[in-house]
Amino acid sequence: MSPCSQGDPFGLQQLHQPPGPPKRNRKELDEGELVAENVLAKVTLQELHRERDRMVLSDVQTPDEISSSFISSVFASRYVQDPLPRYRMPENSIPKEVAYQIIHDELQLDGNPRLNLASFVTTWMEPECDKLMIESMSKNYVDMDEYPITTELQVCWEKFARYFDVELKEVKLSEGYYVMDPKKAVEMVDENTICVAAILGSTLTGEFEDVKLLNDLLSEKNKKTGWETPIHVDAASGGFVAPFLYPELEWDFRLPLVKSINVSGHKYGLVYAGIGWVIWRSKEDLPEELIFHINYLGADQPTFTLNFSKGSSQIVAQYYQFLRMGMEGYKKVITNCMESAKLLQKGLENTGQFEIISKDQGVPLVAFTMKNKSKTFPFQLSKALRHHGWIVPAYTMPANVEHMTVLRVVVREDLGRNLVEKLVSHIKGAMFELENAPSGIPRIAFTVEVKSSDDYGSGDKGGVLHIPATSIQWKQHKPETVGKEVQVMGGVVERSLVLLNGAWLC
């Protein structure tokens, strides 16, 4: 009995597919043809009965008919015809209902967390707490009010060096060149260098470092010295950008010295904070001594991360995005982000007051400095934009270019054209207000000595109220000072009056 024999309301058994090309040996078929071979029926209800609901049906394959390299649909087969690749991102997007149904069906194979008696991890919380967690999932805990970046290397590298007692060698930046210079980096490599880290998407400007040139120069040095210094690519920001905007750019495992790559799924991977990935070229590139094996949960659990237990929600969300978006969807989203970034850049340039330092090839980000302004003015602008709800960080650049103060806007999927135009409008308004604001009145701190009236006759000691001199925020000159005594609550207050700019201040 065929899979479609039971319950055939539309007479599908009477339909047949047109004859295809002659059968070939299975080994002669490529991966795409194997997919087509496994799809036995592709018949839409629109072809059967136009007044019925549209629904795509597919046959259920037996285990020997379908490769383990593909994800077979269960209830999602109501909507899709072809199985999806299991180990690579699909080329095309699929409906959100399909992505949900496929993953929901797969998760049915998981055990019930409430019945997992091996775990110490909490498996139930009150629904109100679940709701609060959902409401706060889009907020990143480590985001501070300001972004005091003081080094070109990202924070994770500083942590790595400190935790594992590794000496960091930093390539200093130079005017107009705000990423690592591969030539200078290779010059710093010695026999003790464990790797050279290239950043695909600078924290400061979003620019991609030249991994291809680094690979070529380092290969030459390795041949001369006999060393085998590898490259690690920190693609936290650019790993989900370059493949879709610059597919011809060589920065990944196409380069022989690139042994490992890390990427953040919670950035342009389009998942809430808490998910990141690291990939090695081969199993041999991850030393076995760095992997720890435990079995107290009931089976062998290899781990090499600093933490162990972690929630699965972000991993499930990343899996959903892979299936839902596909190469097609990610390309559309990242392309739209880049178009919004170009629109913002144009709006800033049209004001004539900003210099753009971010490059065309990089992550969707606009980094800019201010023309003919003080070093502190960008911080004032950043603060002024907060009154409109915008968080636009201002920060000083690292060593060698520390005279520069930069503002940075990271363009995400949710920053569309309308918001970009509103941001430019608010920046113009804030600039006008700052430039036309009246000069501030100087703050003056002084010491006030409070004495009891009895001090003048009985010799009793009174209290003293003292304001520290460190609170003085004005340049001291030699103001005219007049002492005066006034009667306050039965006591005497001695205070100083200071003549400043023709006005008496106390």
Full strand arrangement of the beta sheet holding 276-280: 196-199, 231-234, 258-264, 276-280
Full strand arrangement of the beta sheet holding 405-410: 354-356, 365-370, 405-410, 394-396
DSSP H or E run through 308: none
Q: Quick one: which of 138, 497, 161 has its CA closest to 313?
A: 138
* DSSP-derived secondary structure letter, 26: G
Alpha carbons 457 and 59: distance in angstroms, whole number: 108
Alpha carbons 180 and 192: distance in angstroms, whole number: 20
Q: Quick one: which of 191, 264, 271 has its CA closest to 233?
A: 264
CB 493 within 8 A of CB 486: yes
CB 123 within 8 A of CB 113: yes
Within 13 A of 116's CA, how many CA atoms are on the CB side? Answer: 14
Q: Which pLDDT belongs to residue 401?
A: 87
Give residue-wise pLDDT tens across range 136-157.
888 776 554 443 433 344 767 7
Helix (H/G/I), strand (E/B), else coil: 309:
coil
Strand partners, 491: 488
Give residue-wise pLDDT tens across range 13-29.
333 333 334 444 444 44
Alpha carbons 196 and 148: distance in angstroms, whole number: 25
Q: Quick one: which of 34, 88, 86 has its CA closest to 65?
A: 34
* DSSP-derived secondary structure letter, 200: B
Helix (H/G/I), strand (E/B), else coil: 251:
coil
Within 13 A of 322's CA, how many CA atoms are on the CB side? Answer: 17
Alpha carbons 215 and 231: distance in angstroms, whole number: 7
**Per the structure block, which two tokens stand in for 256?**
């022989």
| pTM higher than 0.85 | no
Strand partners, 279: 261
Alpha carbons 454 and 460: distance in angstroms, whole number: 6
Show pLDDT as tens, one digit a residue, over the chain (506 residues).
Answer: 333 333 333 333 333 333 334 444 444 444 333 333 333 233 333 443 333 333 333 333 444 444 567 776 766 666 666 778 888 888 999 889 888 888 888 888 877 877 776 666 777 777 888 888 788 888 776 554 443 433 344 767 777 788 778 888 888 888 888 999 999 999 999 999 999 999 999 988 999 999 999 999 999 999 999 999 999 999 999 999 999 999 999 999 999 999 999 999 999 999 888 888 899 999 888 877 777 777 766 677 777 776 667 778 888 889 899 999 999 999 999 999 999 999 999 999 999 999 999 998 999 999 999 998 888 999 999 999 999 999 999 999 988 888 899 999 999 999 999 999 999 999 999 999 998 877 655 555 555 555 555 544 554 555 555 545 554 444 445 444 444 444 444 444 444 444 344 443 44
Question: Strand 258-264 relative to strand 276-280: parallel, antiparallel, unpaired?
Answer: antiparallel
**Per the structure block, which two tokens stand in for 413?**
């999927």
Helix (H/G/I), strand (E/B), else coil: 463:
coil
